[in-house]
Amino acid sequence: MAGHAYPKPEQFLDNDQIKQKLMQVDIETLFFMGGEPTVATELPELLEFAKNTLRVRTFLGHTNGSRLPMPNLDGANVGLKAWDEKTHLEYTGREKKPIFDNFTEAHAAGIELKANVVYIPGFVDCDQIELIAAWLAELSPEIPFHIMAYIPVPGQYFQSPTAEQMSETVETCRKYLTYVNSSQLSSEQALTLSKRDDRFEVKRIA
């Protein structure tokens, strides 16, 4: 993990301490990230504080969508794992319907949504990603969709998609959606994002 952009926490703050620190910084949008942020018991209170005291936008930097929509939440970036039911069960251990239903409900509630998917050749292929894109377009063709290339994991036999496969899949999804982009990173690049993109720069405030 050497070179990882995110330093280990030196301490864990309670909600009151977090609120005090947030009141000391100038922010427009507060992103909640780390693992699956919606499982944090502190999240509802902090969302309410961000909206009604700080009066800033609230956004889940990444979520599996299992607890959407949420009060005081303005936006979320949702990982949609697979279209095929069997694949979704194998991938997540859960049925896909509740996730897709939650996404639909959040969209209807006016939450700003982005979607992403990991392209895993031989498992979550272009055909499944195209079906997800088509489904998103039924909600709104303006929903941003990000396709991420799978990064090989030791002990797994799946390989990364080729650049040609990625390009083909992006172009296929653009038949349905206005905003489709992609990323294809190596393991090292994924661990050093702050060196490649200043959006991932880390500044410790506590």
Q: What is the pLDDT of residue 3?
A: 41
Q: What is the pLDDT of residue 165?
A: 97
Q: What is the pLDDT of residue 125?
A: 96
Q: What is the pLDDT of residue 187?
A: 59
Domain ranges of the chain: 63-200
Tokens matching residue 149 = 């290339």
Please answer whether residues 76 and 111 qualify as being in contact, where contact means their C-beta atoms are separated by less than 8 angstroms: yes
Q: What is the pLDDT of residue 130?
A: 98
One-letter identity of residue 98 = P
Please answer whether residues 24 and 54 qualify as being in contact, where contact means their C-beta atoms are separated by less than 8 angstroms: no
Tokens matching residue 115 = 């979607």
Q: What is the pLDDT of residue 197?
A: 55
Q: What is the pLDDT along the chain (206 residues), one digit of tens a residue?
A: 334 455 666 778 889 999 999 999 999 999 998 889 999 999 999 999 999 999 999 999 999 999 999 999 999 999 999 999 999 999 999 999 999 999 999 999 999 999 999 999 999 999 999 999 999 999 999 999 999 999 988 877 899 999 999 999 999 999 999 999 999 865 566 555 555 555 556 677 77
Q: What is the pLDDT of residue 113?
A: 98
Q: What is this structure's pTM?
A: 0.87
Report the DSSP pairing between strands 75-79 and 57-63. parallel
The yes or no reply on domain 63-200 and CATH 3.20.20.70 is: yes
Q: What is the pLDDT of residue 10?
A: 74
Q: Which CA distances in Å does 177 have to 52, 80, 108, 115?
A: 34, 15, 18, 11
- Sheet holding 145-149: strands in order across? 29-32, 57-63, 75-79, 112-119, 145-149, 180-183
- How far apart are alpha carbons 121 and 30 in whole angstroms? 35
3-class SS string, the chain: CCCCCCCCCCCCCCHHHHHHHHCCCCCCEEEECCCCHHHCCCHHHHHHHHHHHHCCEEEEEEECCCCCCCCCCCEEEEECCCCCHHHHHHHHCCCCHHHHHHHHHHHHCCCEEEEEEEEECCCECHHHHHHHHHHHHHHCCCCCEEEEECCCCCCCCCCCCCHHHHHHHHHHHCCCCCCEEEECCCHHHHHCHHHHCHHHCCCCCC
